[in-house]
Protein backbone atom coordinates (compact mmCIF):
# COMPACT_ATOMS: atom_id res chain seq x y z
CA UNK A 1 0.00 0.00 0.00
CA UNK A 2 1.35 3.40 -0.96
CA UNK A 3 0.49 6.72 0.61
CA UNK A 4 0.71 10.15 -0.90
CA UNK A 5 2.73 12.85 0.83
CA UNK A 6 -0.48 14.56 1.91
CA UNK A 7 -1.81 11.34 3.46
CA UNK A 8 1.46 10.85 5.37
CA UNK A 9 1.11 14.32 6.87
CA UNK A 10 -2.41 13.43 7.98
CA UNK A 11 -1.27 10.15 9.55
CA UNK A 12 1.56 11.90 11.40
CA UNK A 13 -0.87 14.50 12.74
CA UNK A 14 -3.29 11.77 13.85
CA UNK A 15 -0.49 9.84 15.57
CA UNK A 16 0.57 12.93 17.50
CA UNK A 17 -2.96 13.63 18.69
CA UNK A 18 -3.36 10.01 19.84
CA UNK A 19 0.05 10.13 21.55
CA UNK A 20 -0.95 13.29 23.43
CA UNK A 21 -3.91 11.45 24.96
CA UNK A 22 -1.50 8.87 26.41
CA UNK A 23 0.58 11.50 28.23
CA UNK A 24 0.32 11.52 32.03
CA UNK A 25 2.06 14.89 32.29
CA UNK A 26 -0.18 17.90 31.73
CA UNK A 27 2.63 19.90 30.11
CA UNK A 28 3.71 17.11 27.77
CA UNK A 29 0.11 16.48 26.79
CA UNK A 30 -0.25 20.13 25.81
CA UNK A 31 3.05 20.22 23.92
CA UNK A 32 2.38 17.07 21.89
CA UNK A 33 -1.21 18.16 21.23
CA UNK A 34 0.09 21.54 20.04
CA UNK A 35 2.51 19.93 17.59
CA UNK A 36 -0.23 17.57 16.38
CA UNK A 37 -2.68 20.42 15.80
CA UNK A 38 -0.07 22.42 13.87
CA UNK A 39 0.66 19.42 11.64
CA UNK A 40 -3.10 19.09 11.09
CA UNK A 41 -3.17 22.76 9.99
CA UNK A 42 -0.51 21.90 7.41
CA UNK A 43 -2.55 18.85 6.38
CA UNK A 44 -5.67 21.00 5.98
CA UNK A 45 -3.75 23.49 3.86
CA UNK A 46 -2.45 20.71 1.59
CA UNK A 47 -5.88 19.23 0.96
CA UNK A 48 -7.11 22.09 1.07
CA UNK A 49 -9.80 21.98 3.78
CA UNK A 50 -10.87 25.16 5.60
CA UNK A 51 -12.74 23.28 8.41
CA UNK A 52 -9.61 21.25 9.27
CA UNK A 53 -7.47 24.40 9.24
CA UNK A 54 -9.85 26.42 11.41
CA UNK A 55 -10.51 23.63 13.93
CA UNK A 56 -6.87 22.79 14.49
CA UNK A 57 -5.73 26.40 14.49
CA UNK A 58 -8.19 26.91 17.35
CA UNK A 59 -6.82 23.81 19.15
CA UNK A 60 -3.27 25.11 18.70
CA UNK A 61 -4.21 28.51 20.16
CA UNK A 62 -5.87 26.84 23.15
CA UNK A 63 -2.77 24.73 23.78
CA UNK A 64 -0.56 27.81 23.57
CA UNK A 65 -2.84 29.65 26.00
CA UNK A 66 -2.77 26.80 28.53
CA UNK A 67 1.03 26.35 28.20
CA UNK A 68 1.54 30.08 28.71
CA UNK A 69 -0.61 29.87 31.83
CA UNK A 70 1.30 26.77 32.98
CA UNK A 71 4.64 28.56 32.91
CA UNK A 72 3.39 31.95 34.02
CA UNK A 73 5.11 33.29 37.17
CA UNK A 74 1.64 34.14 38.51
CA UNK A 75 0.21 30.62 38.16
CA UNK A 76 -1.60 29.32 41.23
CA UNK A 77 0.88 27.17 43.14
CA UNK A 78 0.74 26.76 46.89
CA UNK A 79 2.15 25.00 49.93
CA UNK A 80 -0.11 24.67 52.96
CA UNK A 81 1.01 23.33 56.37
CA UNK A 82 -1.10 20.36 57.37
CA UNK A 83 -1.24 18.15 60.46
CA UNK A 84 0.87 15.02 60.13
CA UNK A 85 -2.12 12.85 61.09
CA UNK A 86 -4.72 14.61 58.94
CA UNK A 87 -6.94 11.93 57.35
CA UNK A 88 -6.84 13.61 53.94
CA UNK A 89 -3.02 13.70 53.99
CA UNK A 90 -2.68 10.06 55.04
CA UNK A 91 -5.17 8.98 52.37
CA UNK A 92 -3.26 11.01 49.74
CA UNK A 93 0.05 9.43 50.75
CA UNK A 94 -1.42 5.91 50.76
CA UNK A 95 -2.91 6.33 47.30
CA UNK A 96 0.45 7.46 45.88
CA UNK A 97 2.66 5.19 47.98
CA UNK A 98 4.12 3.19 45.06
CA UNK A 99 5.02 6.33 43.12
CA UNK A 100 6.51 8.02 46.19
CA UNK A 101 8.77 5.01 46.76
CA UNK A 102 10.35 5.39 43.30
CA UNK A 103 12.08 8.49 44.75
CA UNK A 104 12.02 7.58 48.46
CA UNK A 105 12.42 3.76 48.67
CA UNK A 106 12.28 3.76 52.48
CA UNK A 107 9.32 6.11 52.73
CA UNK A 108 7.34 6.08 55.98
CA UNK A 109 4.22 8.12 56.86
CA UNK A 110 4.88 11.32 58.83
CA UNK A 111 5.49 11.18 62.58
CA UNK A 112 3.73 13.40 65.11
CA UNK A 113 6.57 15.91 65.28
CA UNK A 114 7.11 16.24 61.54
CA UNK A 115 6.55 19.42 59.55
CA UNK A 116 4.27 18.62 56.61
CA UNK A 117 3.18 20.69 53.60
CA UNK A 118 0.42 19.86 51.18
CA UNK A 119 1.52 21.14 47.76
CA UNK A 120 -1.25 22.49 45.57
CA UNK A 121 -1.81 23.57 42.00
CA UNK A 122 -4.90 25.60 41.12
CA UNK A 123 -6.19 24.83 44.60
CA UNK A 124 -6.00 21.06 44.14
CA UNK A 125 -3.53 18.66 45.85
CA UNK A 126 -0.44 18.05 43.74
CA UNK A 127 2.09 16.67 46.21
CA UNK A 128 3.45 16.66 49.74
CA UNK A 129 6.63 17.56 51.61
CA UNK A 130 7.60 15.94 54.90
CA UNK A 131 10.48 17.04 57.11
CA UNK A 132 11.78 16.54 60.63
CA UNK A 133 12.55 19.78 62.51
CA UNK A 134 15.89 20.08 64.31
CA UNK A 135 15.88 23.60 65.70
CA UNK A 136 15.91 25.96 62.75
CA UNK A 137 16.94 23.17 60.37
CA UNK A 138 14.35 21.09 58.53
CA UNK A 139 15.59 17.66 57.46
CA UNK A 140 13.50 16.61 54.48
CA UNK A 141 12.20 13.05 54.54
CA UNK A 142 10.04 13.24 51.44
CA UNK A 143 9.40 15.65 48.60
CA UNK A 144 6.74 14.31 46.25
CA UNK A 145 4.81 15.79 43.34
CA UNK A 146 2.24 13.82 41.36
CA UNK A 147 3.41 12.70 37.92
CA UNK A 148 0.88 14.90 36.12
CA UNK A 149 2.40 18.05 37.65
CA UNK A 150 6.14 17.31 37.64
CA UNK A 151 6.63 19.52 34.61
CA UNK A 152 4.75 22.38 36.31
CA UNK A 153 7.88 23.56 38.19
CA UNK A 154 6.27 23.30 41.60
CA UNK A 155 9.64 22.52 43.17
CA UNK A 156 11.29 25.49 41.48
CA UNK A 157 8.59 27.75 42.94
CA UNK A 158 8.67 26.15 46.42
CA UNK A 159 12.44 26.36 46.91
CA UNK A 160 12.80 29.85 45.45
CA UNK A 161 9.94 32.33 45.65
CA UNK A 162 7.84 30.04 47.87
CA UNK A 163 10.35 29.63 50.74
CA UNK A 164 8.31 31.96 52.98
CA UNK A 165 6.29 28.92 54.06
CA UNK A 166 9.51 27.56 55.63
CA UNK A 167 10.82 30.81 57.10
CA UNK A 168 7.41 31.60 58.60
CA UNK A 169 7.70 28.28 60.45
CA UNK A 170 11.12 29.29 61.83
CA UNK A 171 13.43 27.36 59.50
CA UNK A 172 16.62 28.86 58.08
CA UNK A 173 18.02 25.76 56.38
CA UNK A 174 16.70 22.73 54.53
CA UNK A 175 18.82 19.62 54.33
CA UNK A 176 18.44 16.06 53.09
CA UNK A 177 20.34 12.98 51.98
CA UNK A 178 18.66 11.94 48.70
CA UNK A 179 17.88 8.24 48.44
CA UNK A 180 17.93 8.15 44.63
CA UNK A 181 19.97 9.77 41.88
CA UNK A 182 16.79 11.17 40.30
CA UNK A 183 15.92 12.96 43.54
CA UNK A 184 19.48 14.30 43.94
CA UNK A 185 19.44 15.64 40.37
CA UNK A 186 16.07 17.32 40.95
CA UNK A 187 17.12 18.99 44.22
CA UNK A 188 20.38 20.26 42.76
CA UNK A 189 18.35 21.71 39.90
CA UNK A 190 16.07 23.70 42.23
CA UNK A 191 18.88 25.26 44.25
CA UNK A 192 20.25 22.80 46.79
CA UNK A 193 24.04 22.52 47.07
CA UNK A 194 26.16 19.50 47.94
CA UNK A 195 27.81 19.58 51.35
CA UNK A 196 29.43 16.24 52.05
CA UNK A 197 26.73 13.56 51.80
CA UNK A 198 23.96 16.08 52.33
CA UNK A 199 22.19 18.52 50.03
CA UNK A 200 21.57 21.86 51.70
CA UNK A 201 19.42 24.89 50.88
CA UNK A 202 20.09 28.12 52.79
CA UNK A 203 16.82 30.02 53.22
CA UNK A 204 18.44 33.33 54.21
CA UNK A 205 17.60 36.13 51.75
Residues 41, 54: Cα–Cα separation, whole Å: 8
CB-hemisphere CA count at 13 Å for 61?
6
- Kindly report the backbone phi and psi dihedral angles of residue 84, in degrees, each rounded to the nearest multiple of 5, phi listed first: -65, -20
Per residue of the chain (205 residues), give pLDDT as tens.
556 888 888 888 888 888 888 876 777 888 889 899 999 999 999 999 999 999 999 999 998 888 887 777 656 789 999 999 999 999 999 999 999 999 999 999 999 999 999 999 888 899 999 999 999 999 999 999 998 887 778 888 899 889 999 999 999 999 999 999 989 999 999 999 999 999 999 998 6
Centroid of chain to Cα 164: 20
Residue 205: what pLDDT?
A: 63
Residue 60: what pLDDT?
A: 92
Residue 93: what pLDDT?
A: 97
Residue 73: what pLDDT?
A: 61
Residue 101: what pLDDT?
A: 95
Residue 115: what pLDDT?
A: 98
Amino acid sequence: MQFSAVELVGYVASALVVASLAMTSVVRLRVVSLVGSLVFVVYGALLPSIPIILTNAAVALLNIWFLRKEFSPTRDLGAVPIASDAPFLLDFLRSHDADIRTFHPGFQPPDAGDFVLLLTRDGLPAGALIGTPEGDVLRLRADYVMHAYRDSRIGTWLYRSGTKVFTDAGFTTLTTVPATEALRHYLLGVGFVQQGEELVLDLHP
